[in-house]
């Protein structure tokens, strides 16, 4: 029987064939689901950054004032002030302000006066006491605080005059991270070359899982080990003064970074086509020459990616550095202590007053860390792309 | 003729009436095992100098395996065991005193799939030279040009010597691999189906090149393409399941083979 050409009640599309997602509903659903999951990951990353940055925003805009001696308005002047001025003086939200009567406001102003009277005598004539210590100037430039004989970078968030200079933390983070990377990357890449190119299968089967198992050790355990065993060992070995310092932290950090760099570099080296290796060997190069001169350059984008990931892991690692060293000194000497950004956040967040300047600065540090990782990944991606296009002869 | 005493000539032993020049590669009762399976069965054959010898036979007949015995590329595979001897210029190359690097310098190889390194055209050719101690820039430049000319590639790449070799076409890449192999001046060049991944035009160029290279090098080529073997080789060996069935001049193999199996294969009745 001939079906009518434009049958309006044709069950499923042309010639009865299912089209579009109706043909494979399950696959369609699975695909959309995975897409949604991927999208939500991006959303979560974005949300975390927004949350962190939002908390840090008042500091960036210079909205809060941490000066020890705040300007005082006599409570008697309450009636002379405009509502906006009162809100600003007492740091009230419009909603809070609306819910208060005259008496409460006066009491709050009395509290302000009392607080000003409680400032210890020795700070009364200190110009630093009147400074807002979370100005950008004081957060990134050295300042000669009273009692110091030269301008210095100081991170001292607890005390009468709170000092929030970020430079010691940035230097501490970079110092520990770089020591960790200088220790871990050559070792990890060397191990990856050995395992992927030179080792016999039996050796490979033992070494590879062992190194990768290193990533399964909780960092608090690595920190504990570094604190008790490695610190003493390295001090005996190198003979430096301070037992716990950035060097010990960096080496311990290296143990956390090695498995990350190793497994990615090993994958990259293994995926270099056998054809290259064969060609090099057939030309009469030794296995070592092949590994160094042919396989490693061919896998360089992957090895570089491994290093960038290692950097991300190192800069974000908290526990090891927290346990091993935490004094915030400005020094590039590896045998001095260091305090990293992550350590600072972990150690101080619990004690910072929620919503206070210290709390907000810790969030600012978090945002800074996020930005650093993001930028390093971007640069890494760019460099890898350049490597690849150059290698593949596309200009 | 060779002065090496052969203790026992097996049934498979084959030697064409005339081996062109002096014999260069002698395979004596060679058997090769991958683990327990026997891939080459008691092969004895003598290949002449400065001629093209083609190995033909259906897939899995051991012709590539035999080729890879000549530069000991089989060393790279685990569980390979070899019995018998392969002699090049009278030396047993499987002897423990033989430096495999020196051997591979003398016995070059071109693979089935073109495999230039992910480096520049120049670096591809210069790599082997540097390995074997050529350092002077002028010397490198000279040999690189000479090798690229030798591989009939110079005119096409002279303006892009320093861009990536992976940007070349398949045929150009394969000729680059030949240039790379001849740069270090081997005596023997092994070719493992060098044109099987190329289009007819590129194949024709490679074949011309092989005929050109014959003047200076001894060439052993594995091929699936019977016409190719007939066009370029002087001698042909036919293998079947690990055995050397027949070895003779190419003309004889293709026009008047001694064995029925060979005739069936070259006329396309099986394989």
For the cut 50, the answer to whether the pLDDT of residue B227 exceeds it is: yes
Say whether A283 and B181 touch across the interface (CB within 8 A). yes
Q: Is residue A124 part of a domain?
A: no
CA–CA min distance B102, chain A (Å): 7
In a shared domain, residues A207 and A238: yes
The band of B126, judged by pLDDT with boundaries at 50, 70 and 90, is: very high
- What tokens appear for B47 in the block? 């290949």
Check pLDDT > 70 for residue B15. no
Kindly report the nearest CA distance between residue B99 and chain A, in angstroms: 10
The share of chain B scoring above pLDDT 90, in percent, equals 43
Looking at the structure, tell me whether residues A283 and A351 fall in a common domain. yes
Instruction: Measure the CA–CA gap between B230 and B198, rounded to whole angstroms.
Output: 18
**Coarse DSSP helix, strand, coil percentages of chain B, rounded to the nearest 5 percent:** 35, 25, 40
Q: Is A241 exposed, middle or buried (0-12, 13-18, 19+ CB in 10 A)?
A: exposed
- Pick the residue from chain B with its C-alpha nearest to A294: B117
Question: Would you say residue A13 has pLDDT above 70?
Answer: no
The mean per-residue pLDDT over the stretch A329-352 comes to 89
Question: Are A52 and A187 in a shared domain?
Answer: no
| CA–CA separation, A285 and B127 (whole Å) | 9
How many Å apart are CA A92 and CA A114, to the nearest integer?
18
Q: Both A196 and A110 in a single domain?
A: no
Q: What is the mean predicted confidence (pLDDT) over A140-144?
A: 86
Whether A386 and A286 share a structural domain: yes
Distance from CA of B170 to the nearest CA of A (A): 14
**Chain B: nearest CA to A186, how far in angstroms?**
23
pLDDT at B17: 44
Over residues B81-98, the mean pLDDT reads: 88
Q: List the single best residue of A204, A269, A279, A297 to mutate versus B (max B Cβ within 10 A).
A: A279
- Check pLDDT > 80 for residue A367: yes
Looking at residue A12, its pLDDT comes to: 57
Mean pLDDT throughout A95-100? 82
CB A316 within 8 A of CB A369: yes
At A20 the pLDDT is: 67
Highest-scoring range by mean pLDDT, A79-93, A97-111, A154-168, B214-228: B214-228
> Does residue A20 sit within a domain?
yes
- At residue A14 the predicted structure's pLDDT band, cuts being 50, 70 and 90, is low
Same domain, A171 and A276: yes
- Mean pLDDT to the nearest integer, A141-151: 85
CB A328 within 8 A of CB A347: no
Counting residues of chain A whose pLDDT is more than 70, the rounded percentage is: 94
Rounded to whole angstroms, how far apart are CA atoms A322 and A249? 9
- Is residue A163 within 8 A of residue A133, CB to CB? The reply is yes
Mean pLDDT computed over B50-57: 92
Q: Which residue range(s) make up the domain with A36?
A: 14-59
> Does residue A150 form part of some domain?
no
Residues near B4 by beta carbon (within 8 Å), at least 6 away in sequence = B26, B87, B90
Residue of A nearest to B112 (CA): A275
Q: What is the mean pLDDT of residues A359-378?
A: 91
Question: In Å, what is the CA distance from B103 to each residue of A94, B92, B237?
Answer: 88, 11, 23
- A129 occurs within a structural domain: no
A157 domain residue, yes or no:
no
- What average pLDDT is seen over chain B? 86
Same domain, yes or no: A283 and A326: yes
Q: Please state the rounded mean pLDDT for residues B145-157.
A: 90
User: Quick one: average pLDDT of B144-154?
Assistant: 91
- Indicate if A291 and A344 belong to the same structural domain: yes
| Helix H or strand E segment including B260 | helix B260-266
pLDDT digits (tens, 9 = 90+) for A189-226: 999 999 999 998 899 999 999 999 988 999 999 999 99
3-state secondary structure of B45: strand
Closest CA to A91 of A111, A121, A120: A111
Q: Which residues of A178-195 are buried (b: 16+ CB within 10 A; e: fewer)?
A: bbbbebbbebbbebbbbb
Both A206 and A98 in a single domain? no
Tell me: do A49 and A81 sit in the same domain: no
Q: Which pLDDT band, with edges at 50, 70 and 90, does B239 fall under?
A: very high
| Cα distance between residue B268 and residue A308, in whole Å | 57
Pick from A361, A368, A311: which is nearest to A185 by CA?
Answer: A311
Which of B103, B111, B163 is the closest to A393 by Cβ? B163
Q: Are B101 and A286 inside 8 Å of each other by CB?
A: yes
**Chain B neighbors of A289, CB-CB under 8 A:** 131
Q: Lowest mean pLDDT of A300-314, A339-353, B257-271, name the range.
A: B257-271
Query: What is the reported pLDDT for A133?
Result: 80
- CB proximity A124 to B under 8 Å: no
Q: Over 90: is that where the pLDDT of B3 sits?
A: no
Contacts of B133 (CB under 8 A, 6+ apart): none
Place of tokens 């950004």: A341
pLDDT of residue A9: 54
In chain A, how many domains are there? 3
Query: In this structure, what CATH number is given to the domain that contains residue A351?
Result: 1.10.3720.10
Q: Which of A231-235, B78-82, B248-252 has the lowest mean pLDDT?
A: B78-82
Q: Report CA A382 to chain centroid distance, whole Å.
A: 20
pLDDT attached to residue A55? 86
Beta-carbon count within 10 A of A32 CB? 11
In a domain, A123, yes or no: no
| Residue A159 domain flag | no
Sign of the alpha-carbon dihedral angle for A200, A206, A212, A214: negative
pLDDT, position A354: 84
Asked whether residue A304 is assigned to any structural domain, the reply reads: yes
Same domain, A200 and A319: yes
Same domain, A43 and A80: no
Is the Cβ of A20 closer than 8 Å to some Cβ of chain B?
no
Q: Is A276 on the interface with B (CB under 8 A)?
A: yes
pLDDT at B64 over 50: yes
């Amino acid at each position: 029987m001939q079906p009518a050409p434009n049958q309006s009640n044709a069950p499923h599309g042309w010639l009865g064939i299912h089209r579009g997602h109706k043909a494979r509903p399950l696959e369609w659903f699975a695909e959309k689901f995975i897409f949604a999951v991927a999208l939500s990951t991006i959303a979560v990353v974005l949300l975390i950054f927004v949350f962190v940055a939002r908390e840090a925003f008042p500091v960036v805009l210079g909205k809060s004032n941490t000066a020890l001696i705040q300007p005082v308005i006599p409570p008697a002047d309450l009636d002379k002030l405009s509502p906006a001025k009162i809100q600003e003086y007492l740091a009230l939200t419009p909603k809070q302000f609306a819910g208060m009567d005259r008496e409460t406001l006066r009491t709050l102003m009395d509290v302000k006066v009392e607080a000003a009277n409680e400032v210890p005598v020795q700070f009364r004539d200190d110009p630093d006491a009147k400074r807002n210590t979370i100005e950008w100037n004081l957060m990134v430039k050295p300042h000669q605080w009273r009692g110091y004989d030269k301008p210095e970078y100081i991170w001292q968030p607890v005390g009468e005059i709170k000092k929030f200079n970020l430079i010691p933390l940035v230097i501490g983070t970079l110092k520990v991270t770089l020591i960790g990377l200088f220790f871990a990357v050559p070792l990890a890449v060397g191990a990856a070359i050995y395992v992927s190119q030179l080792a016999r299968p039996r050796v490979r089967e033992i070494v590879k899982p062992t190194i990768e198992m290193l990533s399964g050790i909780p960092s608090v355990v690595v920190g504990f080990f570094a604190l008790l065993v490695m610190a003493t060992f390295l001090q005996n070995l190198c003979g430096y003064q301070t037992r716990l310092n950035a060097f010990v932290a960096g080496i311990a950090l290296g143990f956390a970074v090695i498995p990350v760099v190793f497994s990615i570099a090993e994958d990259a080296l293994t995926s270099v086509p056998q054809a290259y290796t064969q060609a090099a060997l057939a030309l009469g190069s030794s296995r070592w020459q092949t590994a160094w001169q042919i396989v490693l350059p061919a896998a360089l984008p992957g090895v570089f990616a491994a290093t960038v990931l290692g950097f991300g892991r190192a800069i974000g690692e908290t526990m090891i550095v927290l346990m091993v060293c935490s004094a915030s000194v400005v020094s590039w000497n590896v045998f001095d202590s260091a305090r990293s950004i992550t350590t600072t956040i972990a150690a101080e967040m619990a004690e910072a007053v929620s919503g206070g300047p210290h709390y907000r600065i810790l969030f600012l540090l978090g945002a800074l860390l996020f930005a650093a990782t993001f930028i390093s990944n971007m640069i890494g991606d760019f460099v890898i792309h350049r490597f690849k296009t150059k290698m593949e002869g596309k200009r | 003729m060779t002065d090496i005493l052969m203790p026992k000539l097996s049934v498979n032993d084959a030697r064409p009436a005339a081996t062109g020049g002096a014999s260069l590669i002698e395979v004596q009762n060679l058997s090769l095992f991958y683990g327990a399976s026997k891939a080459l069965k008691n092969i004895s054959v003598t290949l002449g100098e400065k001629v093209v010898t083609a190995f033909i036979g259906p897939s899995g007949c051991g012709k590539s395996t035999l080729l890879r015995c000549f530069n000991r590329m089989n060393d790279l595979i685990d569980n390979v065991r070899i019995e018998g001897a392969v002699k090049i210029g009278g030396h047993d190359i499987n002897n423990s005193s033989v430096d495999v690097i020196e051997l591979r310098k003398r016995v070059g190889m071109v693979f089935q799939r073109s495999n230039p390194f992910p480096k520049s055209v120049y670096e591809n050719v210069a790599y082997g030279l540097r390995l074997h101690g050529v350092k002077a820039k002028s010397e490198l430049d000279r040999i690189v040009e000479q090798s690229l000319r030798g591989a009939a590639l110079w005119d096409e790449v002279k303006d892009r010597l320093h861009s990536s070799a992976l940007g070349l076409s398949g045929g150009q890449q394969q000729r680059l691999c030949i240039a790379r192999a001849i740069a270090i001046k081997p005596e023997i060049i092994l070719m493992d189906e060098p044109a099987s991944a190329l289009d007819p035009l590129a194949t024709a160029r490679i074949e011309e090149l092989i005929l050109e290279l014959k003047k200076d090098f001894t060439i052993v080529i594995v091929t699936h393409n019977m016409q190719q073997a007939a066009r370029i080789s002087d001698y042909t060996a036919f293998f079947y399941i690990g055995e050397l069935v027949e070895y003779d001049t190419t003309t004889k193999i293709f026009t008047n083979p001694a064995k029925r199996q060979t005739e069936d294969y070259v006329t396309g009745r099986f394989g």
